Structure 1
Amino acid sequence: MGDRIPNGPGSRSGAVGELLDLILPRACGGCGAAGTGWCADCARALAGPPRRVRPRADPGVPCWALAAYRGAPRRAVLAAKEQWRRDLAGPLGAALARGLESLRDTARPLILVPAPSRKAAARRRGGDPVVRAANVAASWLVDCRLIRMLHMRPGVRDSVGLGAGDRQHNLRGRIIVAPPCPDTAGFSANAEVVLIDDVLTTGATVSESVRALAGANVTVRAVLVTCVA
Structure 2
Amino acid sequence: MRTLLDLVLPSACAGCGAAGVGWCADCAAVLTHGPVRVQPRTEPGVPCWALTKYAGPGRRAVLSAKEHGRRDLAEPLGMALSTALALLRAEGRPLVLIPAPSRSVAARRRGGDPMVRTTHAAARWLPDCRVVPMLRVWWGVRDSVGLTAAQRRHNLRGRIVVARSRCGGAMIPENAEVVLVDDVLTTGATASESVRVLAGIGVPVCAVVVTCAA
Whether TM-score is above 0.5 comes out as yes
| Distance of 2:7 and 2:114 partners within structure 1 | 25
Partner of 1:179: 164
Partner of 1:79: 64
Aligned pairs for 1:31-70 (under 5 A) are 31-70=16-55
Residue 95 of structure 2 is aligned to residue 110 of structure 1? yes
In structure 2, give the amino acid aligned to 1:170. N
| Distance of 1:23 and 1:178 partners within structure 2 | 34
* Residues 27 and 37 in structure 1, CA contact (< 8 A), matched pair in contact too: yes
| Distance of 2:9 and 2:34 partners within structure 1 | 33
Q: Specify every segment of 5 or more residues in structure 1 that has no aligned partner in the other structure, as ranges.
A: 1-14
SS in 1 for 2:76: helix
Partner of 1:6: none
SS in 2 for 1:184: helix
Q: Specify every segment of 5 or more residues in structure 2 that has no aligned partner in the other structure, as ranges.
A: none
Aligned pairs for 1:184-195 (under 5 A) are 184=169, 187=172, 189-195=174-180
Q: How many residues align structurally? A: 214
Q: 1:222 aligns with which of 183, 195, 207?
A: 207
CA RMSD of aligned residues (A): 1.8
Deviations 1:113-168 (A, max 9, x none): 00000000001111101101000000110000000110110000000000000000
- Distance of aligned partners of 1:25 and 1:147 in 2 relative to their CA distance in 1, 3 Å threshold: closer
- Distance of aligned partners of 1:90 and 1:24 in 2 relative to their CA distance in 1, 3 Å threshold: closer
- How far residue 18 of structure 1 moved from its aligned partner, in angstroms, is 8.0
Q: 1:119 aligns with which of 98, 104, 116?
A: 104
| Distance of 1:74 and 1:205 partners within structure 2 | 18
* Residues 117 and 151 in structure 1, CA contact (< 8 A), matched pair in contact too: yes
Aligned pairs for 1:206-221 (under 5 A) are 206-221=191-206
- How far residue 26 of structure 1 moved from its aligned partner, in angstroms, is 1.1
Residue 114 of structure 2 is aligned to residue 129 of structure 1? yes
| Distance of 2:176 and 2:59 partners within structure 1 | 31
Q: 1:155 aligns with which of 137, 140, 148?
A: 140
In structure 1, give the amino acid aligned to 2:81. L
* Residues 44 and 191 in structure 2, CA contact (< 8 A), matched pair in contact too: yes
Partner of 1:20: 5
SS in 2 for 1:190: coil
In structure 2, give the amino acid aligned to 1:150. L
